[in-house]
Amino acid sequence: MAGMAKQAAGDRVNTKRKPQAPKPPVPSEYELHLSVAKYLNHALEGNCFWFHSPNGGLRTASEAGRFKKMGVTPGLPDIGVIDTGRIAWLELKRAKGSTTSPAQHYCHQQLRRARSPVYVCKNLDDVEAALKDAGIPVKARVT
């Protein structure tokens, strides 16, 4: 042990770690939605049709009342994908810290009871897996 200094009680040991590169920000639900729209426009086969249900957003009380009378359903998933008479629903959620609301949970239960699959997707890989599970053909893959 010659040449080694004994550490005295109370001496601090340098435990600092190397700085790590910052993680990329988690995409917002809007950014995910734009990516999914672009993917669906390129990936779906010719017989498929998809649409976005614009249920969310801020509304005045009178607008909300009018929409409710017209049959707007709270909690309806963001996207419907139709292929040869079948429909699969995609609920898009931010990858971090986002969960379904009680209205969404109830609506998803009702859709599943009607034998219509609902998938909660947090990224493009989830969307591709949901389409595959629902039997909806795609001509492009997420890479």
All structural domains of the chain, each given as residue ranges with its CATH number in brackets, are 29-133 (3.40.1350.10)
Q: In what order do the strands lie in the sheet with 86-92?
A: 48-52, 79-83, 86-92, 118-121
Plot region of 135 (φ>0 → left; ψ -120 to 50 → alpha; else → beta) = left
pLDDT of residue 98: 86
Q: Predicted confidence band at 9 (pLDDT cuts at 50, 70, 90)?
A: low
Helix (H, G, I), strand (E, B) or coil at 31: helix
Q: Please, which contacts does 24-28 make with residues 24 or more away whose CB atoms are closer than 8 Å?
A: 26/94, 26/95, 26/96, 27/94, 27/95, 28/94
Q: What is the pLDDT of residues 125-137, one digit of tens each?
A: 999 999 999 999 9
Task: Please state the pTM of the whole predicted model.
Answer: 0.78
What tens digit of pLDDT does each residue of 21-37 get? 777 677 788 999 999 99
User: Model confidence at 12, in pLDDT bands (50, 70, 90)?
Assistant: low
User: In this structure, what token pair is assigned to residue 26?
Assistant: 């988690």
